Structures are given as structure tokens and as C-alpha cells.
Structure 1
Amino acid sequence: MKNKTSAERSRSISEGWVETTLGKVIKIIGGGTPKTSVPEYWNGEIPWLSVVDFNDDNRWVSSTEKTITSLGLEKSSTKLLNKGDIIISARGTVGAMAQLKREMTFNQSCYGIRNIENLSEIDFIFYLLKFSLKQINQNTYGAVFDTITTKTFDYININLPPRPEQKAIANVLTAFDDKIENLRAQNDTLEQTAQTIFNEWFGKYQLEDELPEGWRVGKLSDLLDIKYGKDHKHLQDGDYPLYGSGGIMRYVEKPLYKKESILIPRKGTLTNLFYLNQPFWSVDTMFYSKIKNPIQGRFIYLFLKSIDLSAMNVGSAVPSLTTNVLNQIPLIIPENNIMNEFNNIISSFYTKINFNISQIQSLSKTRDTLLSKLMSGELRVKL
């Protein structure tokens, strides 16, 4: 790869690149929702996507919170997307996107995106969409919810390289995403191992049991101060990770909190928790927290992962948790020596996890820098 001057860049666009619009190089597919009042349409073998399943920085989506039956697919307006197709949210949280690891259906708040054979490559289209998200978000409408329509893509001007160059560009960027995916898989394994150790040490005790000397039953509020996250629309891009229910959404100019913290979902998917030991921003659909005694942080986090927070839902249309509900959660608190010993064992796992997280952030920033340069033609891939 080599850098080009502005003049060279202009010539390179005319040498095989085509000026067009995004809408002309993709197929747009609409989704739908089977009637929720018909049980026979739900809990089948077919994954059914909504934005909660892919609202993060992961390239791939392989599973969904909800599934439908073949009858639900037949009797509704939802469509079956192919493996490799792209899903993008079109209403509310506009621009969340991922590629499908398998065939999936999806709701009407999203669009399925497919390449046009002999014109565009699907992996390139994924990165082209990422590159075009700012333009897409500038072409939303709606009084209550930001919304994009099929016409939005016709307003997004692009420069389309020949298909061999599309493949080469996608391969460069995919190499970064593959490394990121491997690091995330390592972290998942480390998290599972830490959870197993927690269960072996503390899972055998019940609240009503006679506890070892020095142990006691308390409430979550004894160990944790839970605070509300904040809206991030006013923040410029920067170096600090901004977390939502799916993980890192973007990087912003300043942190909301600089100390170790446990992030707990407040609305939507109530299962994703995060333990952070770096400055961060948390969106308003997440709680962040002040850990009263740092030695107890990992213990609290693994305890919360061991219980079913979704069973504590107090919402109606949207699943929700409140500080009052969380503060009152009962738990067994071991005596300090046991807590210290447990923390010493678990810390090595999280040292590796944190190192991997820093690697992921570095790779993500480099990928995004390359994305801009490759899509604009400032940097060309040598074929």
C-alpha cells in the first residue's frame, strides 16, 4: 500500500473507480414481526434479529435473543437473510450494523443489505456502510425517533472501486477484525473460567444456610453505589470508550468516570454486564457504579453474572431495572481473608482480559483510520 497526493488521488478515482450512490450498489430488504399474540409463531429454530442483538462494535452476529418458527416466517412480512448479508438498524438507534454468521430473519426497524452480483462485494459493502454512517445519520428524519428509509441510501455519494480492488480493501480491514474477534473469544473463555471458580467457591451457599464464621448476608448496596449513565450525543469523537448494552459503541472526547466500575444494564437487554478499570463513558440505558472496596469488585461482578437480572424486570414495553431493585438484591458476603484470597486468584485472569481489551481498542482505532483512507482513495491497495 502507498499514500497518494491529492492530485494522484483525483486521478485514481477516475482510473477505474465509479462515482455513484450507495443505493445503486446494494439490495435493500425490509423486515417484519410475526404477531406476538400467536404462540405458534415464536420460540422456533429461526433466529429473529432486533437491534439489541448487534448494537456493538462486533462485525459478526451469530445468535439472537428471540427466535421464530417456520410458520411465523410464512405468516409475517419478515424475510430470511443469507449468511454474509448485512443488518443495519433504521429507527431509533440508527446505524448499528453487523454481518450475519448464519441465515436469520429480522424486524421492521432494520434493513437487510445484500450486494449486487457482478457489481459489488458484500464484505466491501460492510466497510463502505461503516465509512458512510456519518452521511447516513445526517439523512435521518422523524420527530420522535431518528429514522432512515430506503431512499436515504440514494443520497449517499460514494466512489466504487472495481471488484478486485473491493476484495483487496475488504481483506485488509478483515484482517484487523479477525484479530479483534480472536481476542474477544479469548476474553470469553477467561470470563467463563473466572465464573466457574466463583461458583465453586461461593455457589454452594444459600441465603438461609448456616454460614462460615465471619460471613454474613447483606444487600448489593452494602458493596456498590449505583449511578445513572448519561446521554452522549453532545460528545465529540475521542479516546475514551463509550459503553452501551452491547459493549463499546464509539470513542468519545472525555470520560464520565475514571475509576474501576461495574456497568449494569438499565433498559433493553438486561444480561450484559461489564467490569471496567479504565476511564469510560456509559450511556443512559446503562448504570455505572462506584465499588466501595476495590478488593470486592470482581466478587460483585461475578455474583451479578451468576443471577438472572432479567427476572427482576420492572418495565412493561421495554425491559427495565431500577436502582431500588438493584440495591435490595440480597447476597452472601464472605469474610475479608477469603475475599482477598479469591481476588488474588481471579486477578490474573482479568490482567489478561484487560490487556486484550487494550489490544482490541488499538486494533479498532487503526482499522478505522485505514477504513477512512482506503474508502476515500487516499491509500490504495497494491493488487
Structure 2
Amino acid sequence: MAGEIKMTRTGGRPASSGVIQGKYALSVGLPDKLAPDGWSWTLLSDVARLETGHTPSRKHPEYWGGDVPWVGIKDATENHGRTINSTSQYTNTLGISNSSARILPTNTVCLSRTASVGYVVVMGRPMATSQDFVNWVCSKSISHHFLKYVLLAERESFFRFASGTTHQTIYFPEVKAFHVCLPPKDEQEIIAHILGTLDDKIELNRRTNETLEAMAQALFKSWFVDFDPVRAKAENRGPKLPANLDELFPDNLDGDGIPCGWHSGNLLDLCELKRGYDLPTSQRTPGAFPIVSSSGVSGFHHEAMAPGPGVVTGRYGTIGEVFFVKGDYWPLNTALYVKNFKENSVRYVYYALKQVDFQKFSDKAAVPGINRNHLHEAAMIIPPREVQVAFERLMSSTWNRQDANDAESSTLAALRDTLLPKLISGELRVKDAEKIVGRVA
């Protein structure tokens, strides 16, 4: 097996001689935990080539922009557990040749080791990574799918493997000493297939919902930004809406370029935003109500501070994202939430906020922030209530389908999270797991 692994280029100190045991199938050093029958504890670097990454110099803009995907922390946090085919930043041959970064092959497994520890992605095409990652190029002895699931299952263990006060980091002496508990290759593939069947369906639901959301946004833009139904009537051309919808739209634009009878104002005319509420992590108690931050749902709590359905956007840190919340929720202090919809449709307010250029209202500080009073000044078009309601009715079946997909994905994710540690530790054997998955997938 070792003969299949080419020399790594991580450099630095040798492997740690200590032992820090993970929860299921990973350990720093060789643990005294017995492997299941037919499995064996194996030094990971014996079956997968260990690689790190690097960041081409930002002082040379010519190193950036090109055809080489470059995996950064943002890509990992946004795609945890997935195979990625694109990244938020790209480098090029010049950037690679003038740095310690290397282009790694398809199916390389990447683990974030610093900044945000424990995020896992798999390369869907050749890519390079930043130095925030350790990467494994798998040999024929280990399935990259199986390794991915081991790393996903051991996320809590990475904080035991890491050290540091301000920022937790998994250092290379520990990484070089990683041991993985491996079943035979065919069993690895079966385990990965069982878990992958669930993940594939979850991913299909996610992509379907992205398509449905794009359809809703396209219709909103057509009606309320481009005013297509009004322009079509004014120019006496098709395609025309059904009569019950067509009659809701005027047949001309006024002198300001908006549909006659519609109101042009600002965001405060549409709704009122309010800063969210403090909720330290130490005070959170598990419950049914989502905690919504500037970057989306960040947990659940037993209390809610805002009634649903609601709309939330970022106030501090992450700005520009807008979230629709179906039920009651707790908006965090890093977010702004809609306190008063002023008799406007909740969905209309949600999509209208998504049209706002939040960067115009950012304070441009190192950590971006927004003053809600400034955001209230954003220009806004407010159509009659009946047009907003018609939009909601027309799209209701689309949103219901999204809700059904989300509910199914939650059920499948719960099953996957139950099976994952049991399968990769050998506690549950594949024949029993296949029966369970076969009943729901």
C-alpha cells in the first residue's frame, strides 16, 4: 500500500508520538481500541498522500483570476460534506508556479485545519487549496467517499486534536499521525454507498429547491422590477396573463417609469426593520424555534422573540443575505428582522429586500455593518396589496413543494446522522443498514 503513495510536500516537524483517540474511526497515533472483525487501524498517510496548500501572493494581481479553482475557507463552510466543482476564487498557472500551492487531482479529500476547523469537501475536479487545509489524495486501498464520511463523523474530535488559544489549529505533527480504522475496500464502498444514497437525495432536493427559488425570483423581477405585464399591455403585445391576473395591472407607466397607481417610496414605507436580540451560546436551550443570524439559521432555542412568517437580513458581519422564516423564531443581534410588514405581503417584502444593493448602505468597516435607519432609505416600489396577494397565490404551490422537499431532507439527514457513526465504527454492519435505508430512500 505504501508504494502507491507518492512523496508528500507538507514538510515541517515529524508525526506526533502521542495518542489522542477520536470518537469512532480516527485517532492521532495508534489507539488501543480494538478494530471490528476484519477491520484494521491503519496510518492514513500509508493509504493516502498528505498534501497542504498555499495562497499565491495577493500583492500580485496577475496570480489571480484564471482557470484553477482555489479552495478557501468560505468554500468549505458553504459546502460542508459536498463535492465541489467551483470555488469563490480562482488562481492560474502563474500563481501556482510562484507559490507552494499544488494542483491536486479530482476526488482529493480536504479538511479545514485552522480558522474554521473541521469542514470537509471533496474536489470534483483538479483544484488547489489554501494553507488552511490538509488534503488527502487517496490510493486504491481507501475509498475517498469512505474517508470523507470518517472525517464528517469525527468533527467533534478535531477540537481535541487541535490546539491554540485565539484560533484553534490542527498542526501537522498530529495530522501526520492520523490513524483510520479501515474495513476491506469493498465494505468501504458499500458503507459510502449507503450514506451517499441519502446524501444524493438531500442534494437533489437542495438543487430542486434552488431551481424553484430561481423561478420565484424570476417572476418577481418580471412583475415588480421590469414591469413586464404593464409593458405588454401598453404595447398591446403578448404573451398575456390570464384575465384574472391581467386586470390587476395598469396599462401604462407614469412619468417616473413605474406602473400607474403604484407607489414609489423607500423601504420604511414598505416595512420596519429592527435589530435582533442577544442570545449568548451559554444561554441557549435546545428547542423548536430557529435562531437566525446574519448568515442564516445557526441553531435552535426553546423560546421565540419574533412571530412567523418572518424576514431576516444581516446587520453586522455578513450582509446582503435575506432569509424567509416560516414559523416563530429568535433573530440574533447580528441580524435585522422585519418588525412591521405594514399590511404588505410577507413574501413581497422578502423578495423586495433581495433586490436591495446592501453594499450601498454598508459602513465599509473591516467587519461590514449596516445601520437600519440608513437601510430604511433604500428606494422601493410598492404595488397594490391585491397584486402582491396574486403573486403569493400563483407561487404557493412552488413554495409548498420547497417545504415538502425540506421536510424530506430533514428526515433523511436525521437518518444519515444516526447511521454515520454506527457504520464507520463497525457497530452497525452493512446488511442491516441496507435494510433500513431501503425502507426510506
Relative to the length of structure 1, the TM-score reads 0.83
Letter in 2 for 1:353: Q
Per-residue displacement from partner, 1:248-285 (whole Å, max 9, x unpaired)? Answer: 66x65646556223343456665543322145667776
Shift of 1:355: 1.3
Q: Does 1:128 find its partner at 2:128?
A: no
CA separation in 1, counterparts of 2:101 and 2:210? 32
Where 2:87 maps in the other structure, the secondary structure is coil
CA separation in 1, counterparts of 2:294 and 2:45? 30
Structure 2 equivalent of residue 139 of structure 1: 161
Letter in 2 for 1:98: V
Q: Does 1:189 find its partner at 2:238?
A: no
Per-residue displacement from partner, 1:169-204 (whole Å, max 9, x unpaired)? Answer: 000000011101111111111111111111110112
Per-residue displacement from partner, 1:140-178 (whole Å, max 9, x unpaired)? Answer: 222222222223446766432121111110000000111
Q: If you compute each CA radius of gyration, which structure gives the higher value, 1 or 2? A: 2
Letter in 2 for 1:73: I
Where 1:88 maps in the other structure, the secondary structure is strand
Structure 2 equivalent of residue 264 of structure 1: 313
Structure 2 equivalent of residue 351 of structure 1: 400
Q: Does 1:164 find its partner at 2:186?
A: yes
User: For the Cα contact (< 8 Å) 1:298–1:346, is it kept in 2?
Assistant: no
Q: How many residues align?
A: 372
1:39–1:142 distance in 2 versus 1, CA, 3 Å: same
Where 1:351 maps in the other structure, the secondary structure is helix
Structure 2 equivalent of residue 212 of structure 1: 260
Where 1:306 maps in the other structure, the secondary structure is coil
1:200–1:64 distance in 2 versus 1, CA, 3 Å: same
User: Mapping of 1:176-325 within 5 angstroms?
Assistant: 176-204=198-226, 208-219=256-267, 222-228=270-276, 233-234=281-282, 252=300, 254=302, 259-266=308-315, 270=319, 272-278=321-327, 287-290=336-339, 292=341, 296-310=345-359, 312-325=361-374
Shift of 1:336: 1.2
Per-residue displacement from partner, 1:69-111 (whole Å, max 9, x unpaired)? Answer: 2211211222223222222222232112222222222222223
Structure 2 equivalent of residue 332 of structure 1: 381
CA separation in 2, counterparts of 1:191 and 1:217? 26
1:151–1:253 distance in 2 versus 1, CA, 3 Å: farther
Shift of 1:230: 5.9
Q: Does 1:68 find its partner at 2:88?
A: no
Structure 2: segments with no counterpart, 5+ residues: 1-32, 228-252, 435-441
Letter in 2 for 1:336: R
Q: Does 1:175 find its partner at 2:197?
A: yes
More deviation, 329-338/238-247? 238-247
1:102–1:325 distance in 2 versus 1, CA, 3 Å: farther
Structure 1: segments with no counterpart, 5+ residues: 1-10
Structure 2 equivalent of residue 59 of structure 1: 82
Where 1:343 maps in the other structure, the secondary structure is helix
User: For the Cα contact (< 8 Å) 2:263–2:381, is it kept in 1?
Assistant: yes
Letter in 2 for 1:187: N
Greater relative CO (CA pairs within 8 A, separation 6+): 1
Q: Does 1:114 find its partner at 2:129?
A: no
Please report the RMSD computed on the Cα atoms of aligned residues, expressed in angstroms.
3.4
User: For the Cα contact (< 8 Å) 1:169–1:374, is it kept in 2?
Assistant: yes
Relative to the length of structure 2, the TM-score reads 0.73
Per-residue displacement from partner, 1:333-382 (whole Å, max 9, x unpaired)? Answer: 11211111112112221111111111111111111101011122121013
Aligned residues with identical type, % of pairs: 28
User: For the Cα contact (< 8 Å) 1:263–1:287, is it kept in 2?
Assistant: yes
